[in-house]
Homo-oligomer: A and B are copies of this chain.
């Protein structure tokens, strides 16, 4: 929905629906309220917008190096059901004042029915997908890249440059790698091709470690995937760290930083990158955003002996 149609007659009804107007006063709401949270970081405006959630049935082996009972206990400690792992998705928008930058693109039309909410939530936040200047991708898993294009092939952010880690491109777009990959990894190669092959000319490959845009640095954090990156965001004297998939659900994997989820392609390298990032965040008391943290997916990391925990950000109802 673009701005003009928003103000057209028929669209007012849609706007009413988005605001949640109900037929009867006690009619239950159809949907959760938009998951949008804003904050200032120096002169930048940061918007967390949820793409929804998926649930992974908890089976033995989801955490490769922990018993099912231990994982169930960790879920219980977090007051979560023990039969499934909730995996929310929270891309960030960085408004630098001159550019609208989206960090990771969500599931689009290719994920669980409880996901794919990003565009609706951006719209609720007053952010027009057409106005996004840059999409920066942390890695090539489907829940980060599938939102770039619809099932009809159309670009979701048609005016945006798409920036991807060069080592991700090199790994996933290489046919020799695909041929020799284990079966479980093949869909990842196919998915990367589906998203990127037709739009290769729109994609900029960046070298991790570089400043991508003023105030946004990529940081190599390989292991989860061969080219997985985190992003340091800095404006004025304020900094935050977008952790991407340094951990999956933090109530499992920040609290148990040595646990390896099945998603980690190189478990040892991922564990080292995780400890490096969490140690730095704890030591420097940096605000962090975690892609799979519960909305609004921001907080601080504290270290407790050999473990870590997240102190969720205190929700501020003003800007």
Contacts and interface: CB of A to CB of B under 8 A. Distances in A.
Interface in A181-224: none
A125 to B, nearest CB: 5
Contact of A32 (B9, B312, B319): B319
Contacts of A32: 37-38, 316-319
A45 B9 CA distance: 31
Q: How many copies does the complex hold?
A: 2
Contact of A33 (B20, B38, B98, B314): B38
Contact of A12 (B7, B26, B312): B7
Contacts of A295: 315, 317
A143 to B, nearest CB: 14
A262 interface: no
A19 B317 contact: no
B53 A316 contact: yes
Contact of A314 (B30, B78, B98, B316): B78
A28 interface: yes
Contacts of A125: 20, 29, 33
A96 interface: yes
A283 interface: no
Interface in A59-115: 77-80, 86, 88, 95-100, 114
Given A7-B16, A28-B45, A78-B311, A53 B317 contact: yes
A101 to B, nearest CB: 10
Interface in A4-53: 6-7, 9, 11-13, 15-16, 18-22, 25-26, 28-38, 45, 47, 50, 52-53
